[in-house]
Structure 1
Amino acid sequence: MVATLAMASNSSRVEAFVCPWRGGGSYAKDLRNAGVSVLEWPGAEGAPRAYATMKLRRFAQQQQIDLVHAHMSDSAVLAAAALSGTGIPFIVTHHSNRLLPKERPVKSALRSALTKWATGRASRNIGVTNAVSERLSLELRVSGERLETISNGIAIPDDSRIIASGYHRQNRFTAQGGPRIVALGRLVGLKRHVMMIEALSRVRDTLPDAHLAIAGDGPERETLAACIDRLNLGSHVTLLGSINDVGEFLSQADIFVSMSSYEGLPVSVLEAMSWGLPVIISDVPGHRDVVQDNIDGCLVPFDDVDALTGQIIHLARHPSEAARMGSAARNKVIRDYSSVAMADNYLRLYTEILAKP
């Protein structure tokens, strides 16, 4: 999301520099190709955080940076420390309903204290949904005048690609093939991929050609592979690992599923909606901020395999309803969650903060 915002903001109005203090990875190349400056300091990855703090402070002063935009709590603490006494303002965007990770009591207390200190020094704290903003107010005591909600945004696929994708999807439904069900995200417990696999084993009894493709990698991969073997789903479920082209992956799908335990603003769900896919998602904070049930997506009770199974079968058997829902989803993302709209909202906020004496 940092990369998306930087690319959408980098213009005659904003000169963006991205400082990935934990390493830029593949995003650094994409940013540079888009004309965005990426600052990767040799030795920063794995080094003490004081090193990144010193580097950021020096760069901000030498380059006369007007404002620093940090993302998540660790970056907030780094920015607050680096900019202390410089007069350079900073803001923090919080992307998850879980503001702080679960840790041992002493470490958790220290992280909480540092985060409260950093967010208290920030010119503005931004929640990506109203639910995240409420958590900021309740847990970190962020006051009203320092709190704002700005939705994340994504790049919208061209209409021509959506038309082609929808045409092939409709043909698959008409031929009683599929459906092609997809999920996208790190293979971790909170994403509840096991639940999707269990649902697919039941869907197969009614729709023998159904297939589930899961894109992403993570520590749960072996557990998921064992579950697939146990349920004899080797020809029905594919673990793709990390993928390079999310758009191509989604363009070949019929139904998108996300069963997360919690979310901030779920970017993968927005991406699926932007491709005109009907989405079936768990009824948890973050998800329900995005989807209106049975209008532009389907909300199913958390951890309810039967409900997920039934919803997949229903959409597969009612392609016109699936198409209507997917169209409504795409229209919502274009209206409320585009990268252009996100960049415009942040530009307004940057301008407002810099106008203050």
Structure 2
Amino acid sequence: MSRSDTTHEAPTAGTDSYDDASHQSPDETVRVCFLINKLAPDGAPTIVLNLVEQARDQPFDFTVCFFGGDDTLRTDFEDAGARVVDFGAVGEFPQFDPRSLPRMLRFFRRTSFDILHCHLPYSQSLGRLVGSVADVDHIVSTQHNVPANYHPIERVAERLTRPLDSRTVAVSEGVQTAFTGESEVFHHDTGRQWSTIPNGIDVDAFAGSVDAADGRAVRQEWGLSDSDPLYLNVARYEPQKRQSTLIEAMGEVIDSVPSAHLLIVGWGSLEASLREKVQSAGLSEAVTVTGRVPEIHGYYAAADAFVSASAFEGLPVTILEAMTAECPVVATDIDGVREVVLDGETGRLVPPDEPTQMAAAMRELADHATRERYGEQGCDRVRNVFTVEQMVSRYTRLYRSLDGRQRRENNAGEYENDA
């Protein structure tokens, strides 16, 4: 049978494509199921995809389950050898479609896994409950952002179900601190349950794609010359990302660098309002809200610098991408980001919601020598600390330690913070 399955109605007994008989693995193989909201090309699904691609030749059998909706990365997962299961939910937020819950429960009752690895709070809360009922051997959750990013109901549900984890992973020390700072409410939540595994990127592959991309074509598409200073932001159009701060900052940047331009690349609920803000500020010649683009490498190739005004982050993959592309970074001085960007070495850090300070840092990068220095040092930092190989090694050791096929002595230290 194909390793890709879609369930919109529960299959009948005896013909269920999710039966254990269709999902057997050799004894030495660890069966890992990832559960995530959807397969959009966002940070969390991209991290899972990198993990599947890099570990495909190791003794793991990967299944990727998602509630429904955007399945942009589905083919990529299938090409990497993962079985993909769609629980058939619909709507802008498919994880909230109640019709997916019975399908999800039936699937996990009929399919055996050694490890269920849940991503994002809603999937974590449901996955922990369903995994426990279905008697999954071990449950792992990865926290990709700080609690402030999530709805209060999601935060409460996540905290209440967290004891069901065998291990909870944070993508940065800042994320772990933000979550464990709430542990006085739930005294069972100790540091022993947590590990920090930073996000990683395939440096050689991404850098090669940027080198092969046509940055000049991107500039021409948006009416920019080769000499126009180009700032790039890649992020969802959501309140957390604070692109409005970047628009305000550009109003000050062009006072001294009139040919500068900002491309805001992404998608999300604020797309129309961001375009309105650009128009009302009279910045249509300096700022472009592009919407979703078919491929991103050409934009990194075209950019002189990368800018991020986020109010909070976990450990942003787009900043790792920018640094890999040797783009110097101007970003906000927040947990997660300051673990990646070193102020004055790989870029500049400024306080959140301060467009004037953001503009000053952006103007600083108008200097070519400064951009070159920050860009080279940033790429070196990613190669030393934030590679996908390091990330995958930590996760696979975690899986094996939980599964009992690797010595468990010091199992917190052996995959935690060993960059």
Which TM class, normalised by the smaller chain length?
Answer: 0.7 to 0.9
- TM-superposition CA deviations, 1:109-138 (whole Å, max 9, x none): xx4553233210110000111111112222
The corresponding residue for 1:151 is 198
How do 1:341-352 residues align onto structure 2 when only pairs under 5 Å count?
341-352=390-401
Aligned length in residues = 341
Residue 228 of structure 2: which of 178, 182, 185 is its match?
Answer: 178
The corresponding residue for 2:76 is 30
- TM-superposition CA deviations, 1:19-62 (whole Å, max 9, x none): 0123451011221133322112345743445324413423xx53
Whole-angstrom CA distance in 1 between matches of 2:75 and 2:213: 28
**SS, match of residue 356 in structure 2:** helix
Amino acid at match of 2:193: R
2:336 corresponds to 1:279: no
2:243 corresponds to 1:243: no
2:56 corresponds to 1:6: no
Residue 130 of structure 2: which of 82, 85, 92 is its match?
Answer: 82
The answer to which structure, 1 or 2, has the higher relative contact order (CA under 8 A, 6+ apart) is: 1
The corresponding residue for 2:118 is 70
The corresponding residue for 1:92 is 141
Gaps of 5+ in 2: 1-46, 217-224, 409-419
Structure 1 position 152, deviation (Å): 1.0
- TM-superposition CA deviations, 1:202-255 (whole Å, max 9, x none): 211211211110101222222221221122221221111012312222111111
- TM-superposition CA deviations, 1:152-196 (whole Å, max 9, x none): 11222445566678998xxxxxx9922110101111222111111
Amino acid at match of 2:105: M
Structure 1 position 12, deviation (Å): 2.9
Amino acid at match of 1:15: D
Amino acid at match of 1:343: V
Given that residues 210 and 301 in structure 2 are in contact (C-alpha distance below 8 angstroms), is that contact kept between their aligned partners in structure 1? yes
Amino acid at match of 1:51: P
How does the TM-score come out when normalised to structure 2? 0.75
2:172 corresponds to 1:122: no
The corresponding residue for 2:106 is 55
**SS, match of residue 233 in structure 1:** coil
Amino acid at match of 1:136: F
Whole-angstrom CA distance in 2 between matches of 1:352 and 1:11: 19
Q: Structure 1 88/345 Cα, relative in aligned 2: closer, same or farther at 3 Å?
A: same
How do 1:312-351 residues align onto structure 2 when only pairs under 5 Å count?
312-316=362-366, 318-351=367-400
Structure 1 position 76, deviation (Å): 1.7
Considering fraction of residues, name the structure with more helix.
1
Whole-angstrom CA distance in 2 between matches of 1:31 and 1:155: 16
Gaps of 5+ in 1: 169-174
Q: Which moved more, 1:19-28 or 1:88-97?
A: 19-28
Q: Structure 1 54/99 Cα, relative in aligned 2: closer, same or farther at 3 Å?
A: farther
Given that residues 173 and 196 in structure 2 are in contact (C-alpha distance below 8 angstroms), is that contact kept between their aligned partners in structure 1? yes
- TM-superposition CA deviations, 1:291-327 (whole Å, max 9, x none): 11011121012222221111111111x2112111111
Given that residues 193 and 224 in structure 1 are in contact (C-alpha distance below 8 angstroms), is that contact kept between their aligned partners in structure 2? yes
Q: Structure 1 50/125 Cα, relative in aligned 2: closer, same or farther at 3 Å?
A: same
How does the TM-score come out when normalised to structure 1? 0.87
The corresponding residue for 1:135 is 178
**SS, match of residue 271 in structure 1:** helix
Amino acid at match of 1:203: V
Residue 262 of structure 2: which of 209, 212, 217 is its match?
Answer: 212
- TM-superposition CA deviations, 1:271-310 (whole Å, max 9, x none): 1111110000011112112111011121012222221111
Identity, % of aligned pairs? Answer: 26
Amino acid at match of 1:26: T
